Amino acid sequence: MIALKGITKRFGEHTVLDGIDLSLERGEIIVVIGPSGTGKSTLLRCINFLEHPDAGELTVGDLHVDAARPGKDDILGLRRRTAFVFQNYALFAHKTALENIAERMIVVEGLSKNEAHARAREILERIGLADKADAYPAALSGGQQQRIGIGRAMAAKAEVILFDEPTSALDPEWVEEVLALMKQLAAEQQTMIVVTHEMQFAREVADQVVFMDGGRIVEQAPPSELFTNPKDERTRSFLRKVL
Ligand code: ADP
Ligand code: MG
């Protein structure tokens, strides 16, 4: 249901993604690991055209896009079918928790404010922040802000949620509550691609772990296999540093 074929991205002379092939079934969870600067964020950003790939093909659900020559409707179509969770939450500072979650439903889906707010309240219940509906981001902990960031992605009812190091900016005390929410989503069969350094999360939740280095997928396997029996020396060397 999600397929990337030959996704290539250059910044000037620098080939950051060098022909990435990846596919996921509905409900699958892929965790992407690898050294920093290796193109993990760029890969996620190419899937919803926050970055424009130079070559390759993207399929998300019923939408198939020639990544080098997207139509205008293609980019909008990809953005509707995907949702992004950023390392730094990227909440609107001047909107409440409720408004942050409701915003996309109003702007992208065209829901009335009342409908969007009603649905946002349901999401706030699911993420355990019903009592924070009227709070502004500055009044919330980092963990709560990121749960709002995830709630906003949940509200999008996207085919896939793309997580870019969702716990990396958090104080250690807030990491678990965010991972717990992601596990809850995983249990609900939400399709996700997660870039993270949380190896325990990868072990518990991932269907497939992808190790990237130098803009390429070096190795991909279920966690039980990749963590215990990595085949490539680069994977072994990376895992020695992080495990
Ligand atoms: P990762 O997420 O794995 O740490 P990134 O995808 O952020 O890696 O970056 C991969 C490479 O692309 C890095 O060398 C980075 O400096 C470069 N890069 C990322 N974004 C840009 C940009 N907008 N312009 C130029 N170079 C970029
Ligand atoms: Mg990154």
**Tokens linked to 96:** 């409440």
* Cα angle, residue 237 at apex, residues 234 and 242 outer, rounded to 5°: 125
* Nearest ligand, CA 87: 2
- Residue of 157, 154, 105 lying closest to 125 (CA atoms): 154
How does pLDDT run along the chain (243 residues), one tens digit per residue? 999 999 999 999 999 999 999 999 999 999 999 999 999 999 999 999 999 999 999 999 999 999 999 998 999 999 999 999 999 999 999 999 999 999 999 998 999 999 999 999 999 999 999 999 999 999 999 999 999 999 999 999 999 999 999 999 999 999 999 999 999 999 999 999 999 999 999 999 999 999 999 999 999 999 999 999 999 999 999 999 998
For ligand 1, atom 23, name the residue with the nearest CA.
11
pLDDT at 161: 98
Q: How far apart (Å, rounded) are the C-alpha atoms in residues 102 and 55?
A: 34
For ligand 1, atom 1, name the residue with the nearest CA.
37
Residues with C-beta atoms within 5 A of ion ligand 2 = 40-41
| 3-state class (DSSP) for residue 40 | helix
Identify how many contiguous H helices and E strands the chain contains and give both numbers: 9, 10
- CB contact at 8 A, 121 and 134: no
Amino acid at 211: F
What are the C-alpha distances in Å from 156 to residues 159, 163, 178, 189?
9, 14, 18, 15
Q: Measured in whole angstroms, how far is the alpha carbon of residue 76 from the centre of its chain?
A: 17
Residue with tokens 């995983």: 186
pLDDT at 72: 84
Question: Which of 18, 20, 33, 41 to mutate for ligand 1's pocket (most ligand atoms within 8 Å of CB)?
Answer: 41
pLDDT at 58: 98
Query: How far, in Å, is the centroid of ligand 2 from the Cα of 8?
Result: 16
Give the binding-site residues of ligand 1, using a 6 Å CB cut-off: 11, 16, 36-42
Question: Which of 11, 40, 194, 195 to mutate for ligand 1's pocket (most ligand atoms within 8 Å of CB)?
Answer: 11
How do strand 208-213 and strand 216-221 relate by DSSP bridges? antiparallel
pLDDT at 243: 85
Query: How far, in Å, is the centroid of ligand 1 from the Cα of 42?
Result: 6
pLDDT at 5: 98
pLDDT at 120: 98
- Residue of 17, 4, 18, 174 lying closest to 182 (CA atoms): 174
- Residue of 2, 39, 8 lying closest to 160 (CA atoms): 2
Q: How far apart (Å, rounded) are the C-alpha atoms in residues 195 and 163?
A: 6
Phi-psi region of 9 (alpha: psi -120 to 50; beta: other; left: phi over 0): beta
| 3-state class (DSSP) for residue 37 | coil
Backbone angles phi, psi at 16, to 5 degrees: -90, -35
